[in-house]
Amino acid sequence: MTNLNIIVLAVLQGVTEFLPISSSGHLILVPELTNWPDQGILMDMAVHVGTLAAVVLYFWRDVLAMAQGTLHILGGRRTPAARLTFMVLIATIPVVIAGFLWSRYGLTEWGRSAAVIGWTTLIFGILLYVADRFSVTLRRVDHMTALDALIVGLMQCLSLVPGTSRSGITATAGRFLGFERSEATRFSMLLSIPATAGAGTLMLGSLMKADNVEVNSQAALMAGISFVTALVTLTLFMSWIRRATFTPFVIYRIFLGIGLLIFAYWSTVGPILEPLLDW
């Protein structure tokens, strides 16, 4: 990979990871649209580790509470920290199981195409708008039940399909359940920690096995750039979502989805559209 590849992919990941527009979908599209070689799952995971560090730093109070909550659960104590930790755990279990099966049956490369990303970007973008526009906003994370957490966790499994957006689909679930935008987003961000940490552990193991100095340095550089970019983006996004809606991101997803579908199916729709374009 060239330095330009590294910078573009790392910045793209940092900007898109916490926005409900699918970071993995954008990472897959870069080689698809630029003819660059696919950076592969390993480098995708490297930039995700950078964004993991950003979310841990931004939500350090919640992370500390979850660490304390783990000790409280082990000690049999019922505290707000233990409750938050339990909800994150319940919501994480489905994607761990789904991720294992996804990998077990060799589906990790499935869906890395413009057509799949186009459909998921469009469909789940519209679903996010419906949830955000028509759901009642009453609840906070403190009001979450185990069933709520399980529903969010099951919806998170859909993010294994590129273009769905993990943050987008979990925020959609939270909004359908009546959680405030900022609270649905906050819980979505906390859910990213265990899932990404697990992926990061696998990446570290792969890098150690490969023992390739160049690959290791590229992965470290991408993680560092994505961390800085993600921290800035996360700060701005959380400020935005406390006072505004998801609509701008929905509009972006609709235009991107339609564009990708035209790109993917141009051989079919091209002959139909070309006379209109000439006119």
Over residues 190-204, the pLDDT tens digits come to 998 987 776 666 656
Q: Kindly report the average pLDDT of the chain as a whole number.
A: 86
| pLDDT recorded at residue 35 | 80
pTM over 0.75: yes
Name the token pair of 250: 């929905």
Q: Are 125 and 258 in contact (CB under 8 A)?
A: no
Percentages helix, strand, coil for the chain, rounded to the nearest 5? 80, 0, 20
Domain positions in the chain are 3-278
| pLDDT recorded at residue 277 | 58
Please compute the mean of the pLDDT values over residues 155-172 and round it to a whole number: 93
Please compute the mean of the pLDDT values over residues 259-266 and round it to a whole number: 87
| pLDDT recorded at residue 136 | 82
HSE, CB side, 13 Å, CA atoms: give it for residue 227: 14
* Per-residue CA distances from 279 to 233, 253, 274, 275, 276 (Å): 42, 28, 9, 6, 5
21: nearest Cα among 276, 247, 186, 279:
247
DSSP state of 157: G
Question: Please, is 74 exposed, middle or buried when counting C-beta atoms within 10 Å of its C-beta (0-12, 13-18, 19+)?
Answer: exposed
DSSP state of 187: H
| pLDDT recorded at residue 194 | 87
- Would you list the DSSP string of 99-121? HHHHHHTT-TTTT-SHHHHHHHH
Asked if residue 213 has pLDDT above 60, the reply is no
